[in-house]
Chain A
Amino acid sequence: MKLGLVIDLDTCVGCHACAVACKQWNTSGTTGPLTDYDPYGREPSGVWFNRIRNFEVDEYPNSKTINTPMSCMHCDDAACVTVCPTGASYKREEDGIVLVDQSKCMGCNLCAWACPYGARELDEDQGVMKKCTLCVDRIYDENLPKDERQPVCVLTCPTHARFFGDFDDPDSQVSSLVRERGGYAMMPELGYKPVNKYLPPRQRPASPMMEKREGGEKESLIGKWMKRQKDAFNSLGKGTH
């Protein structure tokens, strides 16, 4: 199995629901808490597994605004795992989820430097590295209703821009979406083989226009409509009185 996410940039409005849902679930999750520093002060910050970046392409008036949620890509060739000196960082054999064993992590931050996606977040208070678990504590929890055994970012997304599934299964929804919509990996040139994929904004074909009519002067049009109304009336056979 190769579990991961597909994110549809065609419908993501950048609302941050996925990011906050992730924060909410995972602060009491396997690698919780997701510590917040100075939460009511001058420089509020904290541990997040999922952050939304937004940027503009092209120039006014043709500019587009793109919202891009970013979390761990669960790379096939995960540099964060390679560099880990204690073996705390690992990619699960059975499903490809990249995790950090909190009991083995010494918080050296090497993995965060190695990750080009900025997906790893050191809990500065606890001195250990934390990151997206793909909600491993939901997807395998048989006590949850079946349709809730998904990462919370997927469950909560109001525009259904997020999909979870097995990329090894060619018939899975994630595999089909990538095939059909031209899904791509982010920064594949770096060679880490990210599992998560993004679907590009759709290019919609131009809408057809109603053909124009000639002679649209106010008086002539109203005259024409009066005539049409009279003709319609006459054709009913009632205009004979």
Chain B
Amino acid sequence: MSVLPEFENHAEQTVKMTTCYMCACRCGIKVTMEGNEIRFIQGNPRHPVNKGVLCAKGNAGIMKQKSPAKLTQPLVRKAGTERGAGEFEPISWDKALDLLTERLRKIRSTDPKRLAFFTGRDQMQALTGFWASQFGTINWAAHGGFCSVNMAAGGLYMTGQSFWEFGDPDWDHAKYFMLWGVAEDHASNPIKIGLEKLKRRGAKFVAINPVRTGYQAIADEWIGIRPGTDGLLALSFAHVLLKHEQFDWDFLVRYTNSTQLVIDAPDTSRNGLLLRNESGELQVWDQASDSPASWTDSSHDNDIQAALFGEYLTDEGVRVKTVMTLLAEKYLSDEYAPENVAAITGVDADTIERLALEMAHVAFRETITIDTPWTDWTGRRHDKFVGRPVAMHAMRGISAHSNGFQSCRSIHLLQVLLGAVDCPGSHLAKPPFPKHIAPPIKPAWAMAPDTPLSSPPLGFPMAPEDLVIDHDGVPLRIDKAYSWEAPLANHGMMHMVITNAVKGDPYPIDTLILFMANMSWNSSMNTAEIQEMLRMKDEHGGYKLPFIVTSDAFHSEMVNYSDLVLPDTTYLERFDTISMLDRPISEPHAACDAIRQPVLEPDRDVRPWQEVLVDIGARLGFPALTRPDGEPKFKDYKDFIINWEKAPGIGFLAGWRGENGEQSMVGAPNQDQWQAYQDNDCFFEQHLPAGQRYYRFANKDYLEWASQVGFNAHSGPIVMELYSEVLQKFRLAGQGLYDGPKPVRQEDKQRLVQYFDPLPDWYVPLEEQRVDNEQYHFHAVNQRPMFMYHSWDSQNAWLRQIMAQNYLYMNRARGKGMGIKDLDWVWVESHHGRIRCQAKLMEGCNPDTVWTWNAIGKQSGTWGLSEDAPESQKGFLMNHLISELLPAQEGEHSLSNSDPVTGQAAWYDLKVNVYPAAPGETGLYPTFATVKRLPDMPPSPEVLHYHTHTPVNLERSMQDALSRGHLAGGDEP
């Protein structure tokens, strides 16, 4: 072999590990630097999340760093100019923070709720939530309200674990995998790694999705379901399982509330509640004594034989039925029979029956075991873990509908019937999950000037008493989360903040702080009107939303609508914490958290937002951040992260605690903790012992450990709630029967009665209920392409070469029948608005569905793109078609376009009409004015030759060129 030159001078390179920040995966990355330039970003093979691989976005990190849209300095809206006009002046950090601190100080000392602090793809909600609590405002949340609260809440109120980031399919053991409504979204690399494992092992992969792109492309079977009907399909599967007696009897008795007794006392305040004894213990029906006995005792005591089925009468004359009886009665009814579900879901009856029976076969005939002994919570020893190897994962296509909470529960019901929860081959929880139902944190409601909240702004209501409303039932939060309109709005309702604040409903606010949230563009429903609202003034000439502060790293559409812009660093320029208190990076069998460390120095006058938050908090005198003498308690963000403790021994980072760093999970602050993380590739991973890896909802050793390390409040079992008494209490309130707070408004009563079924339920999505479905025939949904998943920017010079324009995709035969061909301009109309865009036809699309790639469309002038960039000239948003409010009905207060249980923004409920534009009618509609460039923004380059060193060309010797012909091996002179 010829001698090769040295290609890279490794001696001049430095390598640093850190954590990616371009989506919710938070993969470990290894960054090779040459000077202050990035040579290469690759996946860290040791990292628990991505195990060495990296997605397209992660690989494009260089172009994120080189983006000409990076903010360079703090900016303030020029005096005398209008908000949104894009006239900004540079301001020093000192002045910017003085200005902001003074304003916030006034708010804090008078009426703290006049500050609303909402964050977007925030990966440090433990910190931002802490900050809001210390400030004393309940008006805080992140973007979960329009992302996936339905998945989180659906799971946490039923099984104690959930889809989303809270669990993963058991990729190593599952034999059957059902993927529900994953629009190339959460999660990225872990799902891809897992799918390959499944396919290599020959497991069956069924994808349920109206569109066959992305992961669905490699599914063994694709079910092109009609949007919004997944819950009904799941319940029809449940019908088939019950009809053919395919359910895990022992699993239901041991681990769920299926044997508990539901009181049948119509028109009383007890109706539908669970039977308890005088000590409040939940009751089952003991066949031995033919009387009620405590569920807990029945679990321990073999002499008590809890009935799974039956209707009984207690000595006190209370009529009761087991949960399982109610459940069987409900789902065995004809309503859920495949032949009655087929037309609604678009899935034929034979297919529904076959898929259900295939799953049953895998669960009960292809059962697997892992020969590891374990002990359940009652002390019973088991010599092995029994696995029902049916795994599921579900995301956006379930969550972004107004029936998403119940649909998510319906999928969990299916898992529970199959006994396929946290057992080998099923869906596995990731620590700190599973949690008790529900985690014992109640949302804060009380506020006082200059006083921290006594509990976090977000929590888990268990009854109407926990709502965040005043005595008259008026919402206390600006987004109306935890009101009668959205009682379990556990992630807040960010999509309602601007509309509510501008209307002054429930009250006006003074300042809105936004972080990483593009609320004047693709992160809002009803974008055009939201922009108008941001400009709207009151009768005194002041803005209805008086002051808007944005922290972002790039020139987004929201920056343009801000009064004060605080430039953030990029993800490669910062320290960060991915905390166990928040959304850690755990794997099913390991508790993991991570940090970010800077791999390069910022070349601009920017500061990491978390550093700024700690700074402002100290300036405002937050008790947790200041000493009694008023001096800051912590030097900086890093110092704060190390030394702040939530409870003794428990802080933001779980690794290397204790004075000498020898303790994990719990221990005193360790001053060398950051260094320890840096030395371990920026992550911490505590593997669970083999006996604690499954059945953790009932696994004694796991439960004890989880309570010792602060994941759970106690070590009792996590009993899955197939029947939710929490929902029933709200339903009673709607019926006017509840012993406690009750709604006054008719629409609230009706929604509580209709949608708070204590058993998983399905109903037609709310927008579909209210619009003329003949006129608005099509469902319209959107997804992010994998190479832009969870990123909302569009300036990446490499990724935009893959896609800089989106199209309206529709089923080919359907489109042809309507006279539509590829690239035709079409009108898309909803009850709320209309857009004109270009269409493309495809086969892999449900005929009643149109869809597009989301957030490709941009406002001209933003993101460092030229004014004529396709993103602004041809790219479009569906957001213009989606109202943040439901179509109004007479005599009703306005209601948000959200799930009536969780307040999740229902942006997949959209119904539209599509028709070809008239001849000559071309071009994008609506269009928006070009946003002005920011002061001192460098011009965007016209050509890029990115490289970090002179290329070492491999020269071909002249002799080789002359002596060889074209064939390798050279058979010609």
Q: What residues make up the interface of A, taking CB atoms closer than 8 Å to B?
A: 10-17, 19-21, 23-25, 27-46, 48, 54, 56, 58-61, 63-67, 76-78, 81-82, 87-88, 90-96, 99, 101-104, 125, 133, 136-137, 140-141, 143, 147-148, 152, 155-161, 201-202, 204, 207-213, 216-218, 221-222, 225-226, 229-230, 233, 236, 238-239, 241
Q: Is the Cβ of B56 less than 8 Å from the Cβ of A33?
A: no
Partner of A40, one of B843, B941, B951, B962: B941
Q: Provide the bound-state CA to CA distance between A40 and B967, in Å.
A: 42
B: contact size bracket: 35 or more
Partner of A201, one of B10, B41, B218, B308: B218
Chain A nearest Cβ from B10, distance in angstroms: 5
Residues of A within 8 A of B944 (CB): 33, 35-36, 39, 46
Residues of B within 8 A of A136 (CB): 4, 954
Chain B nearest Cβ from A18, distance in angstroms: 8
Q: Provide the bound-state CA to CA distance between A161 and B361, in Å.
A: 30
B40-78 contact mask (Cβ, 8 Å, vs A): 1 or 0:
111101000010111111111010000010000000000
Q: List the B residue with the shortest CB-CB distance to A212.
A: B244
Q: Provide the bound-state CA to CA distance between A189 and B955, in Å.
A: 32
Residues of A within 8 A of B333 (CB): 218
The residues in B between 676 and 703 inclusive whose CB is less than 8 angstroms from any CB of A are none
Given the known interface contacts A16-B56, A65-B217, the answer about A159 and B195 at a Cβ–Cβ threshold of 8 Å is: yes
| Known A19-B802, A23-B798, A226-B310; further 13 A-B contacts with Cβ < 8 A | A10-B218, A13-B192, A23-B60, A24-B59, A28-B949, A38-B943, A40-B797, A65-B212, A103-B953, A103-B955, A157-B53, A222-B325, A222-B332
Q: Is the Cβ of B193 less than 8 Å from the Cβ of A159?
A: yes
B358 within 8 A of partner (CB) = yes
Q: Provide the bound-state CA to CA distance between A130 and B851, in Å.
A: 37
Q: Provide the bound-state CA to CA distance between A33 and B50, in Å.
A: 28
B360 within 8 A of partner (CB) = yes
Q: Is the Cβ of B52 less than 8 Å from the Cβ of A241?
A: no
Q: Provide the bound-state CA to CA distance between A13 and B940, in Å.
A: 33
Partner of A238, one of B305, B329, B842, B870: B305
Q: Is the Cβ of B217 less than 8 Å from the Cβ of A67?
A: yes
Q: Provide the bound-state CA to CA distance between A113 and B305, in Å.
A: 80
Given the known interface contacts A28-B949, A207-B176, A221-B242, the answer about A40 and B866 at a Cβ–Cβ threshold of 8 Å is: yes
Of the A-B pairs whose beta carbons lie under 8 Å apart in the complex, a sample of 14, sorted by A's number, is A13-B214, A15-B192, A28-B951, A39-B800, A39-B944, A40-B68, A41-B866, A56-B844, A64-B217, A95-B1, A99-B956, A137-B952, A156-B42, A225-B328
Q: Is the Cβ of A10 less than 8 Å from the Cβ of B199?
A: yes
Summed over the interface, the residue pairs from A and B with CB atoms below 8 Å come to a total of 334
Q: List the A residue with the shortest CB-CB distance to B206.
A: A207
Partner of A36, one of B10, B798, B960: B798
Residues of A within 8 A of B307 (CB): 229
Q: Is the Cβ of A44 less than 8 Å from the Cβ of B329?
A: no
Q: Is the Cβ of A101 less than 8 Å from the Cβ of B797?
A: no
Partner of A209, one of B10, B361, B962: B361
Q: Provide the bound-state CA to CA distance between A36 and B851, in Å.
A: 30
Residues of A within 8 A of B953 (CB): 30-31, 101-103
B186-198 contact mask (Cβ, 8 Å, vs A): 1 or 0:
0011001101100
Given the known interface contacts A44-B800, A60-B844, A67-B217, the answer about A76 and B59 at a Cβ–Cβ threshold of 8 Å is: no
Q: Is the Cβ of B358 less than 8 Å from the Cβ of A207?
A: yes
Greatest chain A CB density within 10 A among B50, B218, B955 is at B218
Please name the 5 residue pairs, one residue from A and one from B, whose CB atoms are nearest each other, closest first. A87-B961, A158-B192, A63-B843, A216-B243, A137-B7
Partner of B966, one of A45, A82, A94, A140: A82
B920 within 8 A of partner (CB) = no
Chain A nearest Cβ from B179, distance in angstroms: 12
Q: Provide the bound-state CA to CA distance between A133 and B303, in Å.
A: 73
B865 within 8 A of partner (CB) = yes
Residues of A within 8 A of B55 (CB): 15, 17, 158
Given the known interface contacts A77-B967, A236-B305, the answer about A65 and B213 at a Cβ–Cβ threshold of 8 Å is: yes
Chain B nearest Cβ from A108, distance in angstroms: 16
Q: List the A residue with the shortest CB-CB distance to B302.
A: A236
Q: Provide the bound-state CA to CA distance between A102 and B361, in Å.
A: 60
Q: Provide the bound-state CA to CA distance between A140 and B217, in Å.
A: 35
The residues in B between 853 and 904 inclusive whose CB is less than 8 angstroms from any CB of A are 864-866, 868-870, 873
Q: Is the Cβ of B951 less than 8 Å from the Cβ of A241?
A: no
B947 within 8 A of partner (CB) = yes
B799 within 8 A of partner (CB) = yes
Q: Provide the bound-state CA to CA distance between A141 and B360, in Å.
A: 52
Given the known interface contacts A158-B53, A209-B361, the answer about A33 and B946 at a Cβ–Cβ threshold of 8 Å is: yes
B365 within 8 A of partner (CB) = yes
B317 within 8 A of partner (CB) = no
Partner of B56, one of A19, A61, A143: A19
Q: List the B residue with the shortest CB-CB distance to A125.
A: B943
The residues in B between 377 and 400 inclusive whose CB is less than 8 angstroms from any CB of A are none
B1-36 contact mask (Cβ, 8 Å, vs A): 1 or 0:
110100110100000000000000000000000000
Q: Provide the bound-state CA to CA distance between A88 and B970, in Å.
A: 16
B643 within 8 A of partner (CB) = no
Residues of B within 8 A of A34 (CB): 946
Q: Is the Cβ of B287 less than 8 Å from the Cβ of A160?
A: no
Chain B nearest Cβ from A198, distance in angstroms: 14
Chain B nearest Cβ from A84, distance in angstroms: 8
Q: Provide the bound-state CA to CA distance between A35 and B360, in Å.
A: 55
Given the known interface contacts A11-B218, A13-B195, A28-B947, the answer about A152 and B42 at a Cβ–Cβ threshold of 8 Å is: yes
Q: Provide the bound-state CA to CA distance between A148 and B43, in Å.
A: 11
Q: List the B residue with the shortest CB-CB distance to A221.
A: B332
Q: Is the Cβ of A221 less than 8 Å from the Cβ of B358?
A: no
Q: Provide the bound-state CA to CA distance between A190 and B360, in Å.
A: 49
Q: Is the Cβ of B52 less than 8 Å from the Cβ of A225?
A: no
Q: Provide the bound-state CA to CA distance between A221 and B329, in Å.
A: 10
Q: Is the Cβ of B802 less than 8 Å from the Cβ of A222?
A: no
B309 within 8 A of partner (CB) = yes
The residues in B between 343 and 385 inclusive whose CB is less than 8 angstroms from any CB of A are 354, 357-358, 360-362, 364-365
Q: List the B residue with the shortest CB-CB distance to A215.
A: B243
The residues in B between 329 and 344 inclusive whose CB is less than 8 angstroms from any CB of A are 329, 332-333
Q: List the B residue with the shortest CB-CB distance to A105.
A: B953
Q: Is the Cβ of A156 less than 8 Å from the Cβ of B54?
A: yes
Q: Is the Cβ of A42 less than 8 Å from the Cβ of B54?
A: no
B410 within 8 A of partner (CB) = no
Q: Provide the bound-state CA to CA distance between A82 and B958, in Å.
A: 16
Q: Is the Cβ of A60 less than 8 Å from the Cβ of B845?
A: yes
Chain A nearest Cβ from B800, distance in angstroms: 5
Q: Is the Cβ of B358 less than 8 Å from the Cβ of A42?
A: no
Given the known interface contacts A40-B795, A141-B8, the answer about A46 and B951 at a Cβ–Cβ threshold of 8 Å is: no
Q: Is the Cβ of B801 less than 8 Å from the Cβ of A36?
A: yes
Residues of B within 8 A of A90 (CB): 956, 960-961, 964
Q: List the B residue with the shortest CB-CB distance to A45.
A: B801
B265 within 8 A of partner (CB) = no
Q: Is the Cβ of B786 less than 8 Å from the Cβ of A210?
A: no
Chain A nearest Cβ from B215, distance in angstroms: 6
Q: Is the Cβ of B943 less than 8 Å from the Cβ of A159?
A: no
Residues of A within 8 A of B520 (CB): none
Residues of B within 8 A of A155 (CB): 42-43, 52-53
Q: Is the Cβ of B199 less than 8 Å from the Cβ of A63?
A: no
Chain A nearest Cβ from B263, distance in angstroms: 19
Residues of A within 8 A of B360 (CB): 209-210
Q: Provide the bound-state CA to CA distance between A27 and B949, in Å.
A: 10
Partner of B53, one of A17, A37, A78, A93: A17
Q: Provide the bound-state CA to CA distance between A222 and B307, in Å.
A: 12
Q: Provide the bound-state CA to CA distance between A82 and B964, in Å.
A: 11
Q: List the B residue with the shortest CB-CB distance to A207.
A: B358
Q: List the A residue with the shortest CB-CB distance to B244.
A: A213
B786-824 contact mask (Cβ, 8 Å, vs A): 1 or 0:
110000000101111110100000011100000000000
Residues of B within 8 A of A25 (CB): 40
Q: Provide the bound-state CA to CA distance between A136 and B290, in Å.
A: 78
Residues of A within 8 A of B95 (CB): none
B246 within 8 A of partner (CB) = yes
B847 within 8 A of partner (CB) = yes
